[in-house]
Protein backbone atom coordinates (compact mmCIF):
# COMPACT_ATOMS: atom_id res chain seq x y z
CA UNK A 1 0.00 0.00 0.00
CA UNK A 2 1.39 3.38 -1.03
CA UNK A 3 1.02 6.58 1.02
CA UNK A 4 -1.45 7.90 -1.57
CA UNK A 5 -3.83 4.95 -1.03
CA UNK A 6 -7.41 5.23 0.14
CA UNK A 7 -7.19 6.69 3.68
CA UNK A 8 -9.97 4.35 4.87
CA UNK A 9 -7.72 1.45 3.84
CA UNK A 10 -4.76 3.06 5.63
CA UNK A 11 -6.80 3.33 8.83
CA UNK A 12 -7.56 -0.38 8.59
CA UNK A 13 -4.10 -1.61 7.59
CA UNK A 14 -1.45 0.89 8.68
CA UNK A 15 -2.04 4.47 9.88
CA UNK A 16 -3.56 7.75 8.71
CA UNK A 17 -3.01 11.30 9.97
CA UNK A 18 -6.00 13.65 9.68
CA UNK A 19 -6.56 17.30 10.38
CA UNK A 20 -9.78 17.48 12.42
CA UNK A 21 -10.98 21.02 11.78
CA UNK A 22 -14.54 19.95 12.67
CA UNK A 23 -13.48 19.24 16.27
CA UNK A 24 -13.85 22.30 18.50
CA UNK A 25 -11.76 22.90 21.61
CA UNK A 26 -12.82 24.78 24.74
CA UNK A 27 -11.04 24.96 28.09
CA UNK A 28 -12.83 25.63 31.40
CA UNK A 29 -10.66 27.16 34.12
CA UNK A 30 -11.34 28.07 37.73
CA UNK A 31 -12.73 26.63 40.98
CA UNK A 32 -16.18 26.00 39.48
CA UNK A 33 -15.00 24.45 36.20
CA UNK A 34 -15.81 20.87 37.22
CA UNK A 35 -19.28 21.82 38.46
CA UNK A 36 -19.97 23.58 35.17
CA UNK A 37 -18.76 20.61 33.11
CA UNK A 38 -20.92 18.25 35.15
CA UNK A 39 -23.94 20.44 34.38
CA UNK A 40 -23.20 20.23 30.66
CA UNK A 41 -22.61 16.46 30.43
CA UNK A 42 -25.50 14.01 30.30
CA UNK A 43 -23.58 11.24 32.08
CA UNK A 44 -21.80 10.90 35.39
CA UNK A 45 -18.48 12.74 35.31
CA UNK A 46 -15.66 10.40 36.33
CA UNK A 47 -12.41 12.23 35.73
CA UNK A 48 -9.10 12.47 37.53
CA UNK A 49 -6.00 14.39 36.52
CA UNK A 50 -4.56 12.98 33.31
CA UNK A 51 -7.73 11.13 32.36
CA UNK A 52 -10.08 11.46 29.37
CA UNK A 53 -13.80 10.70 29.32
CA UNK A 54 -16.12 10.31 26.33
CA UNK A 55 -19.09 12.56 27.12
CA UNK A 56 -22.39 13.55 25.54
CA UNK A 57 -23.88 17.05 25.60
CA UNK A 58 -27.63 17.47 25.08
CA UNK A 59 -29.70 20.51 24.18
CA UNK A 60 -32.89 21.57 25.97
CA UNK A 61 -34.98 19.23 23.80
CA UNK A 62 -32.86 16.22 24.85
CA UNK A 63 -31.35 16.02 21.37
CA UNK A 64 -27.64 15.33 20.93
CA UNK A 65 -25.81 18.65 20.81
CA UNK A 66 -22.17 17.50 20.90
CA UNK A 67 -20.12 14.33 21.13
CA UNK A 68 -16.97 15.19 23.05
CA UNK A 69 -13.89 14.06 24.89
CA UNK A 70 -13.31 15.76 28.24
CA UNK A 71 -9.74 16.04 29.56
CA UNK A 72 -8.92 16.73 33.22
CA UNK A 73 -5.67 18.73 33.33
CA UNK A 74 -4.95 19.42 37.01
CA UNK A 75 -7.92 21.69 37.88
CA UNK A 76 -8.68 22.71 34.29
CA UNK A 77 -10.99 20.85 31.92
CA UNK A 78 -10.79 20.78 28.16
CA UNK A 79 -13.54 19.70 25.77
CA UNK A 80 -12.75 18.39 22.29
CA UNK A 81 -16.24 18.54 20.81
CA UNK A 82 -17.69 17.26 17.54
CA UNK A 83 -21.04 18.63 16.35
CA UNK A 84 -21.67 22.36 16.73
CA UNK A 85 -19.54 25.15 15.31
CA UNK A 86 -17.34 27.05 17.72
CA UNK A 87 -19.72 29.98 18.21
CA UNK A 88 -22.64 27.66 19.02
CA UNK A 89 -20.50 25.61 21.42
CA UNK A 90 -19.27 28.68 23.30
CA UNK A 91 -22.82 30.08 23.50
CA UNK A 92 -24.20 26.77 24.76
CA UNK A 93 -21.58 26.55 27.50
CA UNK A 94 -22.02 30.17 28.59
CA UNK A 95 -25.82 29.80 28.69
CA UNK A 96 -25.88 26.64 30.78
CA UNK A 97 -23.08 26.99 33.32
CA UNK A 98 -24.37 27.45 36.89
CA UNK A 99 -24.87 31.14 37.70
CA UNK A 100 -22.53 32.96 40.01
CA UNK A 101 -19.65 30.59 39.43
CA UNK A 102 -15.95 31.38 39.39
CA UNK A 103 -14.89 30.09 35.99
CA UNK A 104 -13.24 31.23 32.77
CA UNK A 105 -14.16 29.89 29.31
CA UNK A 106 -11.21 29.81 26.91
CA UNK A 107 -11.69 29.41 23.16
CA UNK A 108 -8.90 26.93 22.42
CA UNK A 109 -9.84 26.62 18.75
CA UNK A 110 -8.62 30.19 18.29
CA UNK A 111 -5.10 29.05 19.20
CA UNK A 112 -4.98 25.27 18.63
CA UNK A 113 -5.86 22.68 15.98
CA UNK A 114 -6.68 19.00 16.51
CA UNK A 115 -5.02 16.20 14.54
CA UNK A 116 -6.02 12.54 14.55
CA UNK A 117 -3.67 9.56 14.23
CA UNK A 118 -5.59 6.33 13.60
CA UNK A 119 -4.77 2.79 12.57
CA UNK A 120 -3.45 -0.53 13.90
CA UNK A 121 0.06 0.96 13.81
CA UNK A 122 -0.84 4.48 14.99
CA UNK A 123 1.15 3.88 18.17
CA UNK A 124 4.27 3.18 16.12
CA UNK A 125 4.00 6.47 14.25
CA UNK A 126 3.38 8.35 17.50
CA UNK A 127 6.45 6.75 19.09
CA UNK A 128 8.51 8.21 16.24
CA UNK A 129 7.08 11.64 17.02
CA UNK A 130 7.20 11.63 20.81
CA UNK A 131 9.39 8.73 21.94
CA UNK A 132 8.83 5.07 22.65
CA UNK A 133 7.35 5.80 26.09
CA UNK A 134 4.00 6.65 24.47
CA UNK A 135 3.53 3.01 23.45
CA UNK A 136 2.36 2.25 26.99
CA UNK A 137 -0.16 5.13 27.15
CA UNK A 138 -3.42 3.68 28.55
CA UNK A 139 -6.69 4.19 26.71
CA UNK A 140 -8.50 7.42 27.69
CA UNK A 141 -5.47 9.14 29.18
CA UNK A 142 -3.29 11.97 27.83
CA UNK A 143 0.12 13.55 28.18
CA UNK A 144 1.85 16.83 27.31
CA UNK A 145 4.80 16.82 24.88
CA UNK A 146 6.56 20.08 24.10
CA UNK A 147 3.84 22.47 22.86
CA UNK A 148 1.14 19.90 22.21
CA UNK A 149 -1.15 17.51 24.07
CA UNK A 150 -1.83 13.93 23.03
CA UNK A 151 -4.88 11.94 24.16
CA UNK A 152 -5.39 8.26 23.42
CA UNK A 153 -8.92 8.08 22.03
CA UNK A 154 -10.72 7.59 18.75
CA UNK A 155 -13.83 6.41 16.95
CA UNK A 156 -12.52 4.01 14.30
CA UNK A 157 -12.14 0.74 16.19
CA UNK A 158 -8.36 0.96 15.71
CA UNK A 159 -5.64 2.50 17.85
CA UNK A 160 -6.31 6.24 17.92
CA UNK A 161 -4.76 9.44 19.25
CA UNK A 162 -5.87 13.08 19.29
CA UNK A 163 -3.17 15.75 19.16
CA UNK A 164 -3.94 19.32 20.19
CA UNK A 165 -1.21 21.49 18.64
CA UNK A 166 -0.67 25.25 18.27
CA UNK A 167 -2.61 26.46 15.24
CA UNK A 168 0.43 28.11 13.69
CA UNK A 169 2.31 24.79 13.67
CA UNK A 170 -0.53 22.41 12.76
CA UNK A 171 0.51 21.80 9.16
CA UNK A 172 4.13 21.49 10.22
CA UNK A 173 3.27 18.79 12.78
CA UNK A 174 1.04 17.01 10.27
CA UNK A 175 3.79 17.04 7.64
CA UNK A 176 6.30 15.79 10.20
CA UNK A 177 3.94 12.95 11.19
CA UNK A 178 3.57 11.88 7.56
CA UNK A 179 7.34 12.11 7.09
CA UNK A 180 8.21 9.87 10.04
CA UNK A 181 5.30 7.64 9.00
CA UNK A 182 6.67 6.93 5.51
CA UNK A 183 8.12 3.54 6.56
CA UNK A 184 4.64 2.69 7.86
CA UNK A 185 2.93 3.70 4.58
CA UNK A 186 1.15 6.47 6.46
CA UNK A 187 -1.57 8.28 4.52
CA UNK A 188 -3.21 11.67 4.96
CA UNK A 189 -6.68 10.92 6.24
CA UNK A 190 -10.00 12.62 5.61
CA UNK A 191 -13.01 13.21 7.83
CA UNK A 192 -15.03 11.07 5.40
CA UNK A 193 -12.69 8.11 5.88
CA UNK A 194 -12.89 8.45 9.66
CA UNK A 195 -16.68 8.64 9.45
CA UNK A 196 -16.80 5.45 7.38
CA UNK A 197 -14.64 3.60 9.88
CA UNK A 198 -16.81 4.86 12.74
CA UNK A 199 -19.90 3.66 10.88
CA UNK A 200 -18.44 0.17 10.44
CA UNK A 201 -17.89 0.01 14.21
CA UNK A 202 -21.20 1.58 15.33
CA UNK A 203 -19.47 4.60 16.86
CA UNK A 204 -21.96 7.44 17.25
CA UNK A 205 -21.63 10.21 14.64
CA UNK A 206 -23.25 13.42 15.85
CA UNK A 207 -23.02 14.91 12.34
CA UNK A 208 -25.01 12.07 10.76
CA UNK A 209 -27.48 10.08 12.84
CA UNK A 210 -27.00 12.65 15.60
CA UNK A 211 -28.82 15.25 13.50
CA UNK A 212 -32.01 13.20 13.47
CA UNK A 213 -34.91 14.51 15.61
CA UNK A 214 -34.46 11.76 18.18
CA UNK A 215 -32.84 11.37 21.61
CA UNK A 216 -30.06 9.20 23.08
CA UNK A 217 -32.71 6.56 23.78
CA UNK A 218 -33.41 5.90 20.10
CA UNK A 219 -29.70 6.24 19.28
CA UNK A 220 -28.74 3.55 21.84
CA UNK A 221 -26.69 6.01 23.89
CA UNK A 222 -28.32 5.56 27.28
CA UNK A 223 -25.05 4.15 28.61
CA UNK A 224 -23.79 7.73 28.40
CA UNK A 225 -26.72 9.16 30.39
CA UNK A 226 -27.21 9.43 34.17
CA UNK A 227 -30.94 9.96 34.67
CA UNK A 228 -30.66 10.86 38.37
CA UNK A 229 -28.47 13.94 37.88
CA UNK A 230 -29.39 17.51 37.01
CA UNK A 231 -27.94 18.37 33.60
CA UNK A 232 -29.02 20.09 30.40
CA UNK A 233 -31.79 18.16 28.63
CA UNK A 234 -32.23 15.40 31.19
CA UNK A 235 -35.63 16.48 32.51
CA UNK A 236 -36.97 16.39 28.97
CA UNK A 237 -35.29 13.03 28.37
CA UNK A 238 -36.89 11.54 31.49
CA UNK A 239 -40.33 12.55 30.23
CA UNK A 240 -39.57 11.16 26.79
CA UNK A 241 -38.52 7.81 28.23
CA UNK A 242 -41.69 7.59 30.30
CA UNK A 243 -43.81 8.22 27.18
CA UNK A 244 -42.25 5.27 25.31
CA UNK A 245 -39.94 4.96 22.34
CA UNK A 246 -41.01 4.21 18.78
CA UNK A 247 -37.70 3.47 17.07
CA UNK A 248 -34.19 2.26 17.79
CA UNK A 249 -30.94 2.59 15.85
CA UNK A 250 -29.93 -0.72 14.26
CA UNK A 251 -26.97 -1.76 12.11
CA UNK A 252 -27.72 -3.19 8.66
CA UNK A 253 -25.58 -4.52 5.84
CA UNK A 254 -26.93 -4.32 2.29
CA UNK A 255 -25.82 -5.97 -0.92
CA UNK A 256 -25.82 -2.66 -2.81
CA UNK A 257 -25.57 1.03 -2.02
CA UNK A 258 -28.32 2.56 0.12
CA UNK A 259 -28.55 6.07 1.54
CA UNK A 260 -30.04 8.29 4.24
CA UNK A 261 -33.80 8.67 3.92
CA UNK A 262 -34.33 5.31 2.23
CA UNK A 263 -37.35 3.42 3.51
CA UNK A 264 -36.77 0.02 5.14
CA UNK A 265 -39.44 -2.65 4.63
CA UNK A 266 -40.12 -6.14 5.95
CA UNK A 267 -42.78 -8.26 4.27
CA UNK A 268 -43.90 -5.14 2.34
CA UNK A 269 -44.58 -3.23 5.59
CA UNK A 270 -42.57 -0.07 6.35
CA UNK A 271 -40.50 -0.69 9.49
CA UNK A 272 -38.06 2.23 9.45
CA UNK A 273 -35.65 4.36 7.46
CA UNK A 274 -31.92 4.65 6.90
CA UNK A 275 -30.20 7.59 8.65
CA UNK A 276 -26.55 6.90 7.77
CA UNK A 277 -24.82 4.66 5.24
CA UNK A 278 -21.55 4.13 3.42
CA UNK A 279 -19.95 1.59 1.12
CA UNK A 280 -17.41 -0.52 2.99
CA UNK A 281 -14.39 -1.36 0.85
CA UNK A 282 -13.20 -3.65 3.64
CA UNK A 283 -16.41 -5.69 3.55
CA UNK A 284 -17.49 -5.32 -0.06
CA UNK A 285 -21.00 -4.24 0.85
CA UNK A 286 -22.87 -1.26 2.28
CA UNK A 287 -23.06 -0.66 6.03
CA UNK A 288 -26.05 1.36 7.16
CA UNK A 289 -27.72 2.58 10.33
CA UNK A 290 -31.50 2.64 10.37
CA UNK A 291 -34.10 3.78 12.87
CA UNK A 292 -36.36 0.74 13.02
CA UNK A 293 -39.57 -0.11 14.83
CA UNK A 294 -38.59 -1.73 18.16
CA UNK A 295 -40.08 -5.07 17.10
CA UNK A 296 -37.52 -5.26 14.26
CA UNK A 297 -34.58 -3.49 15.93
CA UNK A 298 -32.56 -6.63 16.60
CA UNK A 299 -29.51 -8.23 15.02
CA UNK A 300 -29.67 -11.40 12.99
CA UNK A 301 -32.85 -10.61 11.04
CA UNK A 302 -32.80 -11.29 7.30
CA UNK A 303 -35.31 -10.28 4.67
CA UNK A 304 -35.23 -6.51 4.99
CA UNK A 305 -35.69 -4.55 1.76
CA UNK A 306 -34.42 -0.98 1.38
CA UNK A 307 -36.00 1.30 -1.24
CA UNK A 308 -33.13 3.07 -3.03
CA UNK A 309 -33.39 4.90 -6.34
CA UNK A 310 -36.43 2.98 -7.45
CA UNK A 311 -34.87 -0.40 -6.65
CA UNK A 312 -35.33 -2.80 -3.75
CA UNK A 313 -32.02 -3.66 -2.06
CA UNK A 314 -31.76 -6.74 0.15
CA UNK A 315 -30.44 -6.11 3.66
CA UNK A 316 -30.06 -7.82 7.02
CA UNK A 317 -29.44 -6.63 10.56
CA UNK A 318 -26.12 -7.46 12.23
CA UNK A 319 -24.45 -7.02 15.57
CA UNK A 320 -21.66 -4.43 15.28
CA UNK A 321 -18.78 -4.03 14.86
CA UNK A 322 -18.93 -5.29 11.30
CA UNK A 323 -15.15 -5.83 11.13
CA UNK A 324 -12.48 -7.75 13.01
CA UNK A 325 -10.46 -4.61 13.65
CA UNK A 326 -6.76 -5.21 13.12
CA UNK A 327 -5.84 -3.39 16.32
CA UNK A 328 -7.41 -6.20 18.34
CA UNK A 329 -4.60 -8.46 17.16
CA UNK A 330 -1.66 -6.04 17.18
CA UNK A 331 0.43 -5.72 20.34
CA UNK A 332 2.78 -2.72 20.58
CA UNK A 333 5.05 -4.80 22.82
CA UNK A 334 5.37 -7.64 20.29
CA UNK A 335 4.68 -6.37 16.79
CA UNK A 336 5.70 -3.71 14.29
CA UNK A 337 4.56 -2.67 10.85
CA UNK A 338 7.73 -4.12 9.33
CA UNK A 339 6.94 -7.56 10.80
CA UNK A 340 3.18 -7.46 10.25
CA UNK A 341 3.29 -10.49 7.94
CA UNK A 342 3.89 -12.61 11.04
CA UNK A 343 0.65 -11.53 12.73
CA UNK A 344 -2.19 -14.04 12.44
CA UNK A 345 -5.13 -11.87 11.42
CA UNK A 346 -8.60 -13.35 10.96
CA UNK A 347 -10.68 -12.27 7.93
CA UNK A 348 -11.32 -8.53 8.18
CA UNK A 349 -15.05 -8.73 7.47
CA UNK A 350 -17.31 -10.26 10.10
CA UNK A 351 -20.21 -12.35 8.77
Parent domain of 18: 7-195
Q: Would the pLDDT of 4 be above 50?
A: no
Burial degree of 346 (CB within 10 A; 0-12, 13-18, 19+) = exposed
Bridge partners (DSSP) listed for residue 116: 18, 162
Q: Is residue 253 situated within a structural domain?
A: yes
Q: Is residue 345 situated within a structural domain?
A: no
User: What CA–CA distances, in Å, run from 66 to 71, 110, 285, 335, 345?
Assistant: 15, 19, 30, 36, 35
Q: Would the pLDDT of 3 be above 70?
A: no
Q: Is residue 340 situated within a structural domain?
A: no
Mean pLDDT on 273-290:
97
Q: Would the pLDDT of 53 be above 70?
A: yes
- 178 shares its domain with 38: yes
Predicted local distance difference test score (pLDDT) of residue 1: 37
Bridge partners (DSSP) listed for residue 308: 311
Strands 187-188 and 16-19: parallel
pLDDT level of residue 297 (50, 70, 90 thresholds): very high
DSSP single-letter state for residue 149: E
R_g (Cα) of the chain, nearest Å: 21
Q: Which residues contact 91 (CB under 8 A, 6 or more apart)?
A: none
Q: Would the pLDDT of 6 be above 90?
A: no
CATH number of the domain residue 309 falls in: 2.40.30.110
pLDDT level of residue 283 (50, 70, 90 thresholds): very high
Name the domain count of the chain.
2
- 76 shares its domain with 112: yes
- 178 shares its domain with 220: no
CATH number of the domain residue 26 falls in: 3.30.1360.120
Mean pLDDT of the chain: 95
Q: Is residue 344 situated within a structural domain?
A: no
Bridge partners (DSSP) listed for residue 25: 80
Q: Which residues contact 3 (CB under 8 A, 6 or more apart)?
A: 178, 182, 185, 186, 187, 188
Q: Which residues contact 288 (CB under 8 A, 6 or more apart)?
A: 251, 252, 253, 254, 258, 274, 276, 277, 278, 306, 315
- 84 shares its domain with 173: yes
Q: pTM here?
A: 0.95
Lay out the sheet containing 23-29: strands in order across: 52-58, 64-73, 76-82, 23-29, 104-107
Q: Would the pLDDT of 100 be above 80?
A: no
- 54 shares its domain with 173: yes
- C-alpha 313/C-alpha 269 separation (Å) is 15
Amino acid sequence: MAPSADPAVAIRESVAVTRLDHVRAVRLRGPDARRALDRLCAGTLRLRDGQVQHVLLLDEEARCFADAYALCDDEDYELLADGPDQAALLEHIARHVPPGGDMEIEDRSASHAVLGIDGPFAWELLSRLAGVEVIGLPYLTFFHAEEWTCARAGRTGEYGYLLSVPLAHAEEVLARALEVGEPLDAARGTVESLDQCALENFFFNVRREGREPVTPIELQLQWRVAYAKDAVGLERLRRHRAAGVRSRLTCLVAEQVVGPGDVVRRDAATVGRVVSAGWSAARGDCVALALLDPAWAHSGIRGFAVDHGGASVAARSVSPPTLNNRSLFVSPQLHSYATRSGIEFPPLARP
